Amino acid sequence: MVLSACTAKSSGTGDIAVTSTDSACELSSSSASTGTVTFAVANNGSKVTEFYVFGKHNRVLGEVENIGPGVTGKLVVEITEPGTYETACKPGMVGNGIRGTLEVTGEQKSKSDVPADVEQAKARYLDYVRGQLDGLVAQTTTFVAAVKSGDLAAARAQFGLTRTFYERVEPVAESFADLDPAIDMRWDDTEDGKQPFTGFHRIERFLWPPQQSQVGEDGDDISQADLDNAKTDTAALVNVEAEALLGNVTALRDEVRKSDFAFETQSFVKGPQALVDEIAATKVGGEEDRYSRTDLWDFAANIDGSETLIAELQPMITAKNAPLMDKITGQFQAVRDAIGKYRQGDGYVSYDTVTAAQRKELSDKIDALSATLSQVPDLVLGQ
């Protein structure tokens, strides 16, 4: 087994014990090696204390605050350059504190910042997300118009395609804690009807009214409360929901369009797997589109989004582990082929025609892809 990655990452330095009293600040060691330095700060005084590590120009490299009497706090600081650093305890949390010095030796280390190529890839990906959200707004406009005009056949035909734009960028959309549920909530999120049921799936239920025969307890079944609630749906009520949906997807697009919009690097590098796990966790059972059974549209869209992200990360993955990239490519193809078996016309067959055994086959391929994608963040962000 190759284990080269393990040993390199440890600084080899033990914790430095810091004892803070009302009048003293003692460090168990006044020297450390470059890399990660950990301080265990015990407050043996009677006042609440703080502990600081300062770099050049009194710049705070790290601080741990609000350590009560008798309590121990922990501070982890990344020190990349050898040199002399200052430490300070601040009993009572006031003043300059009780100062000391820390000699750091060892070679210079690069800070574990996000690599530049990752930042560039993020910028390109953001363009993609914005493009998809433009598409979402345009397509939702058409969809909502069909609903409101009473042309339900046209609305049904639009449903899967409209959702495609949303599902492709789902992890980004999900970072909006208010908009995402308003747009994409399921009946399961309503606490059995105590919360308002809004968004795509509310309209979906109106377009494909559930029947008593669909009531059951499996993930893709309809609950009795859901069915009862569906009977209260009227065209007028649903038109209001449709209008609200258009407002919410427009708001989502506008938020992401803002020049200062940014998403976490972590969520970016985990995005390919997150999209695939969307399918693995809550879609392959058929829960997502339980009225329309257009689930396969969503699967394909999640895979689209995941592949787009991987395309951005591909040079970084290939540089560090070309066989892994080949494996990812092959597994994407296998998932594509598996979904492709269910193509019908411009879309996909109804998911209720996909048998349990076929669903497991899909699930197996998705699990395999997800397991491989779980290796990506370390390759991209690891040193």
Partner 1 sequence: MTDRPAADSHDQPQRGVSRRALLGGAAAGAGVVAGAAAAGAAISNAAHRSADSPGDRIVAFRGDRQAGIVTAVQDRLHFAAFDVITDSRAELIDLLQRWTLAAERMTRGQETVEGGAIGHGKYLPPPDTGEALGLSPASLTLTIGFGPGLFGPSASAPARGDRFGLAAHRPAALAELPIFAKDAIESSRSYGDICVQACADDPQVAVHAIRNLARMGFGVVSVRWSQLGFGRTSSTTRGQHTPRNMFGFKDGTRNLTADQTDLLDKFVWVAGQDNPAEAQWLTGGSYLVARRIRMDIEAWDRAALLEQEQIVGRSKGEGAPLGKHAEFDDPDFQMTVSRTPVIAEDAHVRLAHPDNLDGVQLLRRGYNFTDGSDGFGHLDAGLFFLAYCRNAHTQFVPMQRALSTKDAMMEYLTHTGTALFACPPGLAAGEWWGQRLFES
Which residues of this chain interact with partner 1, rule CB under 8 A?
A: 1, 3, 5-7, 9-10, 12, 14-15, 269, 331, 360-361, 364-365, 367-372, 374-375, 377-378, 380-382
Q: What crossing angle do the helices spanning 235-257 and 200-207 adopt, rounded to 10°?
A: 150
Q: How many CB atoms lie within 10 A of CB 78?
A: 14
Q: Are strands 35-43 and 16-20 parallel, antiparallel or unpaired?
A: parallel
**Closer CB to partner 1, residue 114 or residue 207?**
114
Provide the CA 103 distance to its chain's centre, in angstroms.
40
The DSSP 8-state label assigned to residue 178 in this structure reads: T
**Closer CB to partner 1, residue 76 or residue 235?**
76
The secondary structure element, H or E, covering residue 111 is none
CB of 276 closer than 8 Å to CB of 369: yes
Beta strands per DSSP E along the chain = 16-20, 25-27, 31-33, 35-43, 49-54, 60-67, 72-79, 83-89, 98-105, 343-344, 347-348
Distance between CA atoms of residues 64 and 74, nearest Å: 7
HSE-CB of 259 using CA atoms within 13 angstroms: 0
**Closer CB to partner 1, residue 98 or residue 369?**
369
Q: Among positive and negative, which fits the CA dihedral 92, 93, 95, 97?
A: positive
**Closer CB to partner 1, residue 179 or residue 276?**
276
Distance between CA atoms of residues 324 and 318, nearest Å: 8
**Closer CB to partner 1, residue 8 or residue 236?**
8
Q: What tokens does 201 get?
A: 């799936």
CB of 35 closer than 8 Å to CB of 46: no
The DSSP 8-state label assigned to residue 231 in this structure reads: T
**Closer CB to partner 1, residue 10 or residue 213?**
10
CB of 204 to partner 1, least distance (A): 31
The DSSP 8-state label assigned to residue 92 in this structure reads: G
CB of 360 to partner 1, least distance (A): 7
**Closer CB to partner 1, residue 7 or residue 212?**
7
CB of 117 to partner 1, least distance (A): 16
Q: What tokens does 105 get?
A: 């030796």
CB of 334 to partner 1, least distance (A): 8
CB of 10 to partner 1, least distance (A): 4
CB of 217 to partner 1, least distance (A): 10
CB of 6 to partner 1, least distance (A): 4
CB of 362 to partner 1, least distance (A): 11
**Closer CB to partner 1, residue 123 or residue 371?**
371
